[in-house]
C-alpha cells in the first residue's frame, strides 16, 4: 500500500508539472512501443544521432503529432556563472508510415523541443518516426585516460510509457566500459549494457517520465577534441527563438559586421555629401560680400570668409530675412523682429501697457496705421500684418494667444520661400533638413520595427539594429548641414554678418546727431534679431544725452510708446522692444487655430482688407 501511495503522489506531481493533457495521454493508452537510438560519436566530440520511434496513439483519439524533448544544456560545476551547451543542428525527420513529419524547433529551458507533425492534419493508430540530428561537445574527458559519452537518451519529459528502449553507441575506438541506468532522475538502477566495438544498451517497460541514461568509455587518444562548449548564463534560461546555435552564431557575426559597417557607411556617405553639397558656395577671387559685376563669377565651395564691418544692412534685406539667412532658419524671433520693423516703417504703432501684477507678463497694444512707405511689402510681411489684425485694431498682444500660431507658420514658410526666390538657397533649407531627418528617423524606426516583427532575429543579430540606430542618428545630425547657400547667398551673409558686427561694436561718437533718430528706428529690428536691442538703445541714449547737451535734442520715434519714457526715451524703447521679443515669442507659438479659421478671419477683417491693398512684391 505504501508503494501505491508513493506512485499516486508521483502521478499527482507529474500532472502538475507536465499538465493534464500529458497525463491523459498515458491514461488513455498512448505509448511508445519501440525506441531505438544510435549514437555515432566522432573524434571531434560530436555525435550523429538517429532515433527510430514507433508511437502508438491513444485508440479513438486523433493527434497532430509528437514532441521530442532533447537536453541541450546543463549546469557546469567548475564555473557556476556558465553553463554547458550541446549545440544541436542538422535536423531531419521522416515517417516510414507516412505521418506528417514537419518540424518546428523551439527552446524551453535546458531542452530543445522538436514539434513533429502538422497542426492542420491529425494522425492516429501506430506511426513510425525516424529523427536524425547532430550534437556537439558531448564527450567528457576523464583523469584515467578515457573519455566518456554519458547521455540521457529519453530525457525526463516523455509523458507516455515506453515498452522497449535499445541504444547503440559507436565511436572512434572500441568501448572499454559501458553502463546503463533507468528510472527516475539520478536513479542508480541498472539496465542492460555491453562494451565493445559497438556498445549496446537496453531497458524495457518504462513508466511515463522515467529516463534511460547510457555511458560508454573510450580511450582519450582516439579523440581530437574533448573540450566542453561553455556559455555565460544559466542552463535553465528560456530561449524561444527557434534558431539553431549555428544560426545564432552566424547572425551574431552578421550583427557585429552590420553594427560596425552601417555607422561607418553613414558617416562616410554623409561626410562625402556634406563636402560635395552641404558646404556653402562662394565667389572665388572676390572680396567676401561682393558679387561679380556680370553675375557669372567662378563659384567654389567651402572655405572661411573674413568678415568686414558693414555700416548698413545689405540693400533690400529686411531684419527677418537677415535672421533667416544667417542661421538658415526662420525663427520666431525673426517674426517678432518683423513686427518691430513694420512698426518702425509706419504700418502699426506699439504702446506698452502697464503690468497688472508683479508676476504678470508685459503687454502691448498694437494699432494699425497707414504707412507712407512706397516700397512694396514682401509676402511674409503681408502675412504677419494680416495675422496681427485679423481680430481688428487696436489689438493687445495677449489677445493673439492661441490665434497667431497659424500665421507664424505661414510667415516662416514665406520667409524660406523668399530666400529661395532671391537665389540665396537653391531649396528651402527647412525642407532639406526635414528630408534628412526623416531618413534618419526611418533608419531608427527600422531598428525598432525589427524588435516588433522579427524579434528573434533582431536579438540574435543585436549589432545590426544598434548599427541602424547609430547610422540614423549620424544621418540626422549631419543632415542638418545639408542646407547650403548659393554664392549669392554667401555674399549676402558676409554683408549681414559685417552689419551685425557694426551693431555689436558701434559707439555713440560714431553716430551723427542729425541721423540718429532715423538710424535708431531703421536698425532696431536688426538688433532684435541679434538679441542686442538694449545695447543698441543704450548707445543711442548716449547720443541723445550728447545732443541735448549741445542744444540739439533728437526727436523721439512716435511708433513706440513706452510706459515711462523717463529722461532717456531711447533706452526705454530698447528695453521695451527687447521685452516684446521675449513675450511675443511665447504668445505667437501658443496653441494654434486651424489654418482655415485664421485665413477666414483674416480675410473678413477690415484691417486685413486694407493690408491686402498695400503693394506686395510678387514671385
State pLDDT tens for residues 87-105.
Answer: 999 999 999 999 999 999 9
Assess whether pLDDT exceeds 80 at residue 611. Answer: no
Per-residue pLDDT band at 604 (split at 50, 70, 90): very low
pLDDT over 60 at 150, yes or no: yes
CA distances 399 to 153, 351, 365, 366, 590, Å, are 83, 14, 10, 10, 11
Q: Is the pLDDT of residue 4 over 70?
A: no
Select the highest-mean-pLDDT range: 118-127, 288-297, 354-363. 118-127
Of residues 517 and 1, more confidently modeled: 517
Q: How much of the chain exceeds pLDDT 90, in percent?
A: 48
More confident residue, 516 or 8: 516
pLDDT surpasses 50 at 350: yes
What number is the average pLDDT over the span 302-322? 87
Higher pLDDT, 115 or 576: 115
**pLDDT over threshold 60, residue 168:** yes
- Mean of the pLDDT values across residues 477-483? 89
pLDDT value of residue 463: 86
Q: What is the DSSP string of 250-294?
A: HHHHHHHHHHHHHHHHHHHHHHHHIIIIISPEEETTS-TT---TT
pLDDT of 358: 60
* pLDDT band per the 50, 70, 90 thresholds, residue 599: very low
Which residues on neighbouring strands pair with residue 323, listed in sequence order? none
Q: Cα separation of 256 and 265, whole Å?
A: 14
| Sign, CA torsion 333/338/341/347 | negative
What pLDDT score does 245 carry? 61
The neighbour count for residue 399, using CB atoms within 10 Å, is: 16
- CATH class of segment(s) 30-240: mainly beta
Grid cell, residue 501, equals 558686427
The per-residue pLDDT for 613 is 44
Burial class (CB in 10 A: 0-12, 13-18, 19+), 212: buried
pLDDT at 27: 45
pLDDT digits (tens, 9 = 90+) for 228-246: 999 887 766 655 555 656 6
Task: Single out the residue of 523, 567, 565 nearest to residue 544, CA to CA.
Answer: 567
Task: Give the residue, 573 or 31, on which the prediction is more confident.
Answer: 31
Instruction: Inform me whether the pLDDT recorded for 227 exceeds 80.
Output: yes
**Backbone φ and ψ of 466, nearest 5°:** -65, -45
Residue with cell 578515457: 146
Determine which helix (DSSP H) or strand (DSSP E) holds 10, and give its type and residue range.
Answer: helix 2-18
What is the pTM (predicted TM-score) of this model? Answer: 0.61
CB atoms within 10 A of CB 403: 21
Q: What is the distance between the alpha carbons of residues 511 and 518, in angstroms, rounded to a whole number?
A: 11
Instruction: List phi, psi (to 5°) of 607.
Output: -65, -35
333 class by beta-carbon count within 10 Å (0-12 exposed, 13-18 middle, 19+ buried)? buried
Segment 182-205 shows an average pLDDT of 93
Distances (CA, A) of 391 to 339, 370, 375, 394, 395: 16, 18, 26, 9, 7
Q: Does residue 476 have a pLDDT over 50?
A: yes
Q: Which residue has the higher pLDDT, 290 or 161?
A: 161
**Shortest CA distance to 619 belongs to which of 403, 351, 379?**
379
- CB-based contact 56:111 (threshold 8 Å): no
Q: Is 589 helix (H, G, I), strand (E, B) or coil?
A: coil
Predicted confidence (pLDDT) at residue 186 exceeds the cutoff of 60: yes
Q: Which of 275, 337, 291 is nearest to 489 (CA)?
A: 291
Is 443:503 a contact under the CB 8 Å cutoff?
no
As a whole-number percent, the residues of the chain with pLDDT over 70 amount to 86
Whole-number Å distance between alpha carbons of 535 and 542: 11
19 — pLDDT class (breaks 50, 70, 90): very low
User: HEC states along 488-532?
Assistant: HHHHHHHHHHHHHHHHHHCCHHHCCHHHHHHHHHHHHHHHHHHCC
User: 245 with 89: CB under 8 angstroms?
Assistant: yes
- The 8-class DSSP code of residue 207 comes to P
Domain ranges of the chain: 30-240, 280-289+310-427+483-612
Q: Which residues contact 295 (CB under 8 A, 6 or more apart)?
A: none
Residue 357: the pLDDT is: 62
How do residues 393-429 score in pLDDT, each as one tens digit?
899 999 999 889 899 999 999 999 999 999 999 999 9
Using alpha carbons, select from 45, 499, 488 the residue that is nearest to residue 309.
Answer: 499
Pairing of strands 299-301, 103-108: unpaired
Q: How many CB atoms lie within 10 A of CB 293?
A: 7
The pLDDT, as a whole number, for residue 616 is 46
**Mean pLDDT for the chain overall:** 84
Alpha-carbon gap, residue 471 to 440, rounded angstroms: 7
- pLDDT on residue 591: 66
Amino acid at each position: 500500500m505504501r508503494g501505491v501511495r508513493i506512485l499516486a503522489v508521483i502521478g499527482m506531481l507529474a500532472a502538475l508539472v507536465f499538465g493534464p493533457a500529458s497525463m491523459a495521454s498515458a491514461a488513455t493508452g498512448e505509448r511508445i512501443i519501440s525506441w531505438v537510438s544510435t549514437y555515432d560519436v566522432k573524434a571531434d566530440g560530436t555525435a550523429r544521432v538517429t532515433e527510430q520511434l514507433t508511437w502508438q496513439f491513444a485508440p479513438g483519439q486523433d493527434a497532430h503529432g509528437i514532441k521530442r524533448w532533447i537536453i541541450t544544456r546543463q549546469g557546469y560545476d567548475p564555473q557556476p556563472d556558465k553553463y554547458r551547451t550541446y549545440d544541436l543542428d542538422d535536423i531531419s525527420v521522416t515517417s516510414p508510415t507516412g505521418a506528417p513529419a514537419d518540424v518546428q524547433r523551439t527552446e524551453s529551458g535546458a531542452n530543445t523541443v522538436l514539434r513533429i507533425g502538422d497542426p492542420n492534419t491529425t494522425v492516429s493508430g501506430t506511426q513510425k518516426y525516424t529523427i536524425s540530428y547532430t550534437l556537439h561537445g558531448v564527450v567528457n574527458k576523464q583523469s584515467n585516460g578515457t573519455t566518456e559519452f554519458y547521455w540521457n537518451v529519453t530525457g525526463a519529459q516523455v509523458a507516455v510509457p515506453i515498452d522497449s528502449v535499445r541504444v547503440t553507441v559507436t565511436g572512434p575506438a572500441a568501448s572499454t566500459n559501458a553502463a546503463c541506468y533507468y528510472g527516475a532522475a539520478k536513479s542508480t538502477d541498472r539496465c542492460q549494457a555491453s562494451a565493445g566495438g559497438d556498445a549496446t544498451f537496453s531497458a524495457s517497460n518504462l513508466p511515463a517520465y522515467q529516463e534511460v541514461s547510457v555511458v560508454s568509455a573510450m580511450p582519450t587518444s582516439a579523440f581530437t577534441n574533448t573540450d566542453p562548449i561553455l556559455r555565460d548564463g544559466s542552463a535553465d534560461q528560456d530561449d524561444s527563438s527557434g534558431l539553431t546555435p549555428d544560426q545564432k552564431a552566424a547572425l551574431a557575426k552578421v550583427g557585429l559586421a552590420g553594427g560596425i559597417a552601417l555607422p561607418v557607411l553613414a558617416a562616410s556617405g554623409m561626410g562625402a555629401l556634406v563636402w560635395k553639397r552641404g558646404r556653402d558656395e562662394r565667389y572665388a577671387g572676390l572680396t567676401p560680400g561682393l558679387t561679380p559685376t556680370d553675375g557669372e563669377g567662378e563659384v567654389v565651395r567651402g572655405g572661411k570668409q573674413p568678415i568686414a564691418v558693414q555700416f548698413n544692412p545689405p540693400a533690400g534685406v529686411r531684419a527677418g530675412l537677415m535672421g533667416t539667412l544667417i542661421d538658415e532658419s526662420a525663427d520666431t524671433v525673426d517674426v517678432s523682429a518683423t513686427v518691430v520693423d513694420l512698426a518702425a516703417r509706419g504700418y502699426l504703432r506699439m504702446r506698452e501697457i502697464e503690468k497688472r501684477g508683479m508676476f504678470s507678463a508685459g503687454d502691448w497694444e498694437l494699432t494699425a496705421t497707414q504707412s507712407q512707405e512706397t516700397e512694396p511689402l514682401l509676402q511674409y510681411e503681408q502675412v504677419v500684418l494680416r495675422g496681427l489684425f485679423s481680430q481688428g485694431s487696436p489689438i493687445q498682444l495677449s489677445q493673439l494667444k492661441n490665434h497667431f500660431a497659424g500665421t507664424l507658420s505661414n510667415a516662416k514658410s514665406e520667409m524660406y520661400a523668399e530666400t529661395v526666390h532671391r537665389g540665396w538657397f537653391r531649396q528651402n533649407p527647412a525642407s532639406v533638413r526635414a528630408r534628412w531627418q526623416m531618413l534618419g528617423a526611418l533608419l531608427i524606426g527600422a531598428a525598432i520595427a525589427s524588435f516588433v516583427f522579427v524579434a528573434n532575429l533582431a536579438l540574435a543579430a543585436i549589432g545590426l539594429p544598434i548599427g541602424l540606430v547609430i547610422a540614423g542618428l549620424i544621418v540626422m545630425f549631419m543632415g542638418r548641414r545639408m542646407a547650403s547657400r548659393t554664392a549669392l547667398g554667401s555674399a549676402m551673409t558676409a554683408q549681414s554678418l559685417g552689419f551685425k558686427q557694426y551693431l555689436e561694436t558701434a559707439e555713440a561718437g560714431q553716430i551723427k546727431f542729425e541721423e540718429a533718430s532715423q538710424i535708431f528706428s531703421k536698425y532696431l529690428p536688426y538688433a532684435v534679431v541679434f538679441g542686442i536691442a538694449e545695447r543698441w538703445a543704450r548707445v543711442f541714449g548716449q547720443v541723445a544725452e550728447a545732443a541735448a547737451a549741445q542744444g540739439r535734442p533728437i526727436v523721439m520715434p512716435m511708433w513706440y510708446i513706452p510706459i515711462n519714457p523717463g529722461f532717456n526715451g531711447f533706452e526705454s524703447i530698447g528695453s521695451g522692444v527687447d521685452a516684446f521679443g521675449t513675450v511675443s515669442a511665447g504668445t505667437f507659438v501658443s496653441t494654434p487655430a486651424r489654418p482655415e479659421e485664421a485665413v477666414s478671419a483674416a480675410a473678413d477683417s477690415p484691417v486685413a482688407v486694407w493690408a491686402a491693398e498695400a503693394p506686395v512684391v510678387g514671385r
